[in-house]
Amino acid sequence: MQPRFPLHTLKNIRYADCANGRIIGLDLTYFGLTATPELVINTIYSAFPDLCSLDLSKNSLAAGPVPSIICEFSKLEFLSLRNFTTGQTSLPDCFGNLRNLEFLYIMRNSGLTGFIPQSMTTLDSVRQLHLDWNDFSGDIPDFSKLPNLGLFSALRNPKLTGKLASGGFKALDNPLLNRDGTSRNSCDLFGTSVCLPAGYTGPECELMPCSTLVVG
């Protein structure tokens, strides 16, 4: 049976923000979505182009790339794709178009492969960037110059390589306080193959110096 996206059930969603009669926030976590990312996101955009918040976490979307139309949500401030698909997927390199984005969660998608989009390095409004527990590969883009980035995490992406740029990450909240009063690092790349170059200055992000890595 072909996966379907039950658009008619959106009127019964658990959570929606409204302003001036328009839907501006959708929380579709645990919504049982099984269609492809292209079908789901295209359908949402056609119905709700003015979203400021979109959460597609904890669904079982079929295999297929995330469509570039996701970057047309020009008012988006919050986007969460945590554990959103059970299949192979990838991201388009257009995230830099999301000029108002402040919180981005793309986490725990074992089928999410390919490069981290280079355009994410132009997200000047982003405050928290979570890219943990995916299967990204290639050199890590340089996020060190993002002026408002207070938290950056891409841990447990073992195929992620490259060197961390020196002298940046000026806006990191370090240490970062949790709600329970405990603290944690505001930059975490543990479990990747990224390393710190000679003479590096800045947060260590749970990384080792490149000189200590075993080659071969």
Phi, psi of 47 (to 5 degrees): -95, -35
What is the tens place of the pLDDT at every residue in 129-145? 999 999 999 999 999 99
What is the tens place of the pLDDT at every residue in 44-90? 999 999 999 999 999 999 999 999 999 999 999 999 999 999 899 99
Is the dihedral angle over the CA atoms 161, 104, 83, 7 positive or is it negative?
negative
**The domain 7-212 belongs to what CATH superfamily?**
Ribonuclease Inhibitor (3.80.10.10)
Length of the chain: 216
**pLDDT, mean over the chain:** 89
User: What CA–CA distances, in Å, run from 8 to 38, 131, 135?
Assistant: 18, 32, 34
Tell the burial category of 211 from Cβ atoms under 10 Å away from its Cβ (0-12, 13-18, 19+).
exposed
Measured between alpha carbons, how far is 148 from 202 in angstroms, rounded to an integer? Answer: 16
The pLDDT score that the predictor gives to residue 173 is 78
The pLDDT score that the predictor gives to residue 157 is 98
What is the tens place of the pLDDT at every residue in 154-191? 999 999 999 999 999 999 976 665 666 555 689 999 99
Contact 173, 195 (CB under 8 A): no
CA 108-150-78 angle, 5° bins = 55
Domain range list for the chain: 7-212
Measured between alpha carbons, how far is 214 from 216 in angstroms, rounded to an integer? Answer: 7
